Amino acid sequence: MALLFYSQDDDPHAWGAALRALLPELDLRIWPEIGDRREIEAALVWLPPPGLFASLPGLRAIFSLGAGVDAMLGQEHLPDVPLCRLVDPSLTRTMAEFVLAQVLYYHRDLDLYAAQQQAARWRLRLPQAAASRTVGVMGLGELGGAAARLLAGHGFEVLGWSRTKRTIDGVRTFAGSAGLAPFLARSEMLVCLLPLTAETEGLLDAALFAGLPAGAVLVHVGRGRQLVPADLMAALDTGQLRGAAIDVTPEEPLPADDPLWRHPGVRLTPHVASYAQPATAAATVVENLLRLRRGEPLLAVVDRSRGY
């Protein structure tokens, strides 16, 4: 069974070594040296070029190198084979720690001290207890659930919102459109960890920001097209939002002339909130390859009708 590897962002040699350590007989074909396309039965990919899957007549499964599969689902002629997302402890841990880092940045007023430094202003602000701060997490799946647990473990009051009702120890949860307004109304820091779907596209807009407490903070680590940047900058300008840590943008890479780069209330990172380490993530891929070989149901299969 040959496995195709395609990614411009991941290291194929690190992945090859990690996969072969678990499955020495693996026939791995790293793009563009993929040999006879008819022999490829599975593809491990991130942002594959249009038409790639259609050129693989023996393809039986697609494994994403990321948790979000919106780009793949948006492709024309996506073959009707199981599409599996990446669920991996290193991806989950790095996301939860990134979210905690951003929340702590604002919680400890580091944005205000950065501004004070620009003005050479020495002014002490007494720190607040984490327990007095409420953080709302949108999306309570693999990543959002882990982020919510880490934040709660750190002492924050944590709220969570998902499509269907979830139960997480130490987290007060809300669900569906009816749960959104009461969830937002108490979220002084809002973390977005939703998948991009028809329902979540453009969700982070003026109406949503208006539903947050005045001076709230946004930590956006979901997908860029969930955000309406003009609405974000307007909410920052009026003070409805105090600041925003933005890891994902509607266009990536973000063009150099985009005003988001220069808005004083925005902290930008280039879609780096979390990455899977091949050393751990290879185990998930190998488990699915073995299941495919044995004809067993695969893990982390995307529900195409739900869109995630």
Q: Could you list the active site residues?
A: 223, 271
Contact residues for 118 (Cβ-Cβ < 8 A; gap 6+): none
Query: Which residues contribute to the site for ligand NAP (CB under 6 A)?
Result: 66-68, 95, 139-144, 161-164, 166, 193-197, 199-200, 221-223, 247-248, 271, 273-274, 308
Q: Shortest distance, CB of residue 22 to ligand GLV, whole angstroms?
A: 21
Helix (H, G, I), strand (E, B) or coil at 287: helix
**Cα within 13 Å of Cα(81), Cβ side:** 20
Q: Shortest distance, CB of residue 252 to ligand GLV, whole angstroms?
A: 10
Backbone angles phi, psi at 239, to 5 degrees: 90, -5
Q: Pick the closer one to ligand GLV by CB: 40 or 67.
A: 67
Q: Pick the closer one to ligand NAP by CB: 29 or 163.
A: 163
Q: Which does 267 bind (CB under 5 to 8 A by kind): ligand GLV, ligand NAP, none?
A: none
The answer to whether the CB of 47 falls within 8 A of the CB of 9 is yes
Cα distances (Å, whole numbers) of residue 272 to 66, 105, 305: 12, 17, 28
Q: Which of residues 44-83 bind ligand GLV (CB under 6 A)?
A: 66-68
Q: Pick the closer one to ligand GLV by CB: 70 or 188.
A: 70
Q: Pick the closer one to ligand NAP by CB: 85 or 242.
A: 85
Helix (H, G, I), strand (E, B) or coil at 77: coil
Helices (H), 28-140: 70-73, 89-107, 110-118
Q: Which residue is nearest to ligand NAP (CB)?
A: 141
The footprint of ligand GLV (CB under 6 A) covers: 66-68
